[in-house]
Amino acid sequence: MTSINSAQVIKNNSFYQYELKNFLKYLNYDIIPLIPFENDPKKVATHVRLFTEINILTGKDVFKWNIEEEAKRLQVHNKRLIDSATDIVWQSEITCSQKQRFESLSNGANDINQKMRQAVEDTRNSISQINVTQETDLILPDYFYNGTTKFNESSNMDSLILGYSKEY
């Protein structure tokens, strides 16, 4: 087991502080308060569903996308640094009215995604309640439409691999 040298931790921490200070210095403060996706909750909702792991979006999450874009421009890849800069700028540079606009956009996107999740769940519930069997002459469509409850009933391996007609 190795112990961490306290002088190394202090040195690393001061380097981190230096990097953070420089990142904050070179951020474009004219761009980062702009509302992304043309302030369209549908576009934000789609972005969240397709490209993030976020379940409930906050205004600060939306704002962070702007910081991340600036990080790409400045070639900063340190996630911890980006998170810290987001916190600092959100607290000190973004006005209450700007925060409200980010929150409003995130709330709209959350409402859209919640309705979509509910619609998907309702559809799944409806499908799971269908108890009408579909009659087919081929085994693969039979398994597809009616499930595979009869899959292991046959000991004939060829019929499992190659399929068979119900006429046999």
- Which pair of tokens denotes residue 156? 């004939």
Q: pLDDT tens, position by position, for the chain (168 residues)?
A: 445 554 455 556 899 999 999 999 999 999 999 999 999 999 999 999 999 999 999 999 999 999 999 999 999 999 999 999 999 999 999 999 999 999 999 999 999 999 999 998 988 888 777 777 777 888 888 777 776 555 555 555 555 555 555 554
pLDDT score, position 7? 47
1 in any annotated domain: no
Q: Is residue 13 part of a domain?
A: yes
pLDDT of residue 158: 55
68 shares its domain with 86:
yes
Quick one: 62 and 118 in the same domain?
yes
Residue type, 76: V
144 and 61 together in one domain:
no
3-state secondary structure of 158: helix
Three-state DSSP at 145 gives: helix
On whether both 36 and 22 belong to a single domain, the answer is yes
87, 160: one domain: no
- If asked whether residues 60 and 111 sit together in one domain, one would say yes
- Helix/strand/coil for 138: strand
d(C-alpha 136, C-alpha 166), whole Å: 8
CA atoms within 13 A on the CB side of 22: 10
Q: What is the pLDDT of residue 56?
A: 95
Q: Does residue 78 fall inside a structural domain?
A: yes
**Tokens 């925060």 map to which residue?**
99
Same domain, 122 and 140: no
User: Length of the chain, please?
Assistant: 168
123 and 146 share a domain?
no
Which token pair is 35?
Answer: 């509302």
Same domain, 139 and 122: no
Which residue range forms the structural domain that includes residue 84? 6-131
- Residues forming a β-bridge with 138: 165
Phi, psi of 101 (to 5 degrees): -65, -40
- How many structural domains does the chain have? 2
- For residue 150, the model assigns a pLDDT of 54
Radius of gyration of the chain (CA): 27
